[in-house]
Structure formats: C-alpha cells, structure tokens
Amino acid sequence: EAGVAQSPRYKIIEKRQSVAFWCNPISGHATLYWYQQILGQGPKLLIQFQNNGVVDDSQLPKDRFSAERLKGVDSTLKIQPAKLEDSAVYLCASSLSPEGYEQYFGPGTRLTVT
Amino acid sequence: QQQVKQSPQSLIVQKGGISIINCAYENTAFDYFPWYQQFPGKGPALLIAIRPDVSEKKEGRFTISFNKSAKQFSLHIMDSQPGDSATYFCAASPGGFKTIFGAGTRLFVKA
C-alpha cells in the first residue's frame, strides 16, 4: 500500500513570496490533515478535511494560509505572503476513520523562509 | 486545558535498558491517546495507542500505562535498542478530532 505522498520535499523562498504544497493521501482515506511542525516542537494541526469538507480550521492563520481538497482526494496548502516564522516542516496525514484514529503521515515539506 | 505536557525533553538509555516517557493532560474530553515515533527527515509514525477504558496496553517491547484519575499516561520501551533512537511524541484527542501533540522526547540509546 502506497503511503502519503507530499511534494516538494524542500522549498526555500523569500519573505512575502507565496508557496504551495501538495499532498496525495492513502487511497480510500477520507480524512486528511495538514500539520505545521516547527523545529523542536510537536506537530500542530492546521486544518482537517473530511472528504472535501473542512472539519476544523481553527488554528489556520486564514489571513495568509489557505487549503483546499478538491474531489475529496488530493489537497493543496498555500501560504501567501510567507513570513519568517512560517519556516517549518509541513506534514500531511490521512486517516481511514472519520474520527481521525490511526493517522498516517507523509514525509513532510521543509519550508525555509529567508 | 488543551495542552499535553511531555517529559523528559531528552533521554539517554543504555542498550537493553527501559526507556520511560511521560505525558499529562487536563482536558477530560480526551479519549484517544496515541504515541508516535519520528526519525529525522521522516513523518511521525503511529507506534501504539490507548483508550481510557484500559489501564495498560502492550505491543511487543512497547507498553502504554494510563492513569485516568491522574490524567497521565506513559510509554515504556523495554529492552531499548539503538534502532529505537528517535523522537517520540505523545498525543491526545477528543474522539480523534483536533489531535494535540506533546513537545516530543529525543531518545538516544547507547550501544
């Protein structure tokens, strides 16, 4: 079974630029998550989708971050404009259960904002 | 109330020893407590999880102990091996939604 795929793996941008990350969850997994992991910290949930609907986005900085999951499969997370404090690893995870048990994580995208 | 406090921040254990990592929570609505293992450059991987209706769960060398009254849970790694060297995260969620992660424990197992 293929795991959660993410791209790109690394991205370096200057502050105020925009960036987009892509995630392809495990086939059949209805629930998809985006997490932000700052160096030395645990992952922080940004947004949770159930199929293509948003379940929770309470910690998503909506003035600069946006996410979509078209057709209930792939998802894209965008940052526009980026700030220095957005430097982090952005992790995508998926889960078979609607409740989010047993989350499977992708390798992440390491973003550096200079 | 939404925090999950994890300790220690780092841990060094001799090969064959027992590694113990502790977590505490306050939100009594939490009902799912997973532990994740993360190697450098990789995403976290689910190791073992427990629900509050049991006090202990064991899978191979990994055991979760759960104390509902104290709102604490811990991970025990028996017969620790150098390959167990990684960062471990506890987490908690109310029904699987809005998972909250601890800050992580960096484990180093000396050969």
Q: What is the mean pLDDT of residues A43-47?
A: 96
Given an 8 Å threshold on Cβ–Cβ distance, is A4 in contact with B32?
A: no
Q: Which of B97, B100, B106 to mutate to test the interface with A (most CBs of A within 10 A)?
A: B97
CA atoms within 13 A on the CB side of B66: 22
Which range among A9-13, A51-55, B5-9, B34-38 shows the weakest confidence by mean pLDDT? A51-55
What is the spatial distance between Cα B108 and Cα B85, in angstroms, rounded to a whole number?
A: 5
Reduced to 3 states (helix: H, G, I; strand: E, B; else coil), residue A50 is strand
Q: How far is CA A46 from the centre of its chain?
A: 7
Judging contacts by C-beta atoms under 8 Å, the chain B residues touching residue A29 are: none
Q: What is the mean pLDDT of residues A17-44?
A: 96
What is the spatial distance between Cα A83 and Cα A101, in angstroms, rounded to a whole number?
A: 32
Judging contacts by C-beta atoms under 8 Å, the chain A residues touching residue B102 are: 42
Q: What is the mean pLDDT of residues A105-113?
A: 98
- In chain B, the percentage of residues whose pLDDT exceeds 70 is 98
Nearest to B44 among A43, A48, A101 (CB): A43
Q: What is the mean pLDDT of residues A14-29?
A: 96
Residue A30 dihedral angles phi and psi, to the nearest 5°: -85, -25
Chain A, chain B: beta-carbon pairs less than 8 Å apart: 63
Q: How far is B35 from chain A (nearest CA, A)?
A: 10
Q: What is the mean pLDDT of residues A60-89?
A: 95
Token code pair at residue B101: 């992660």
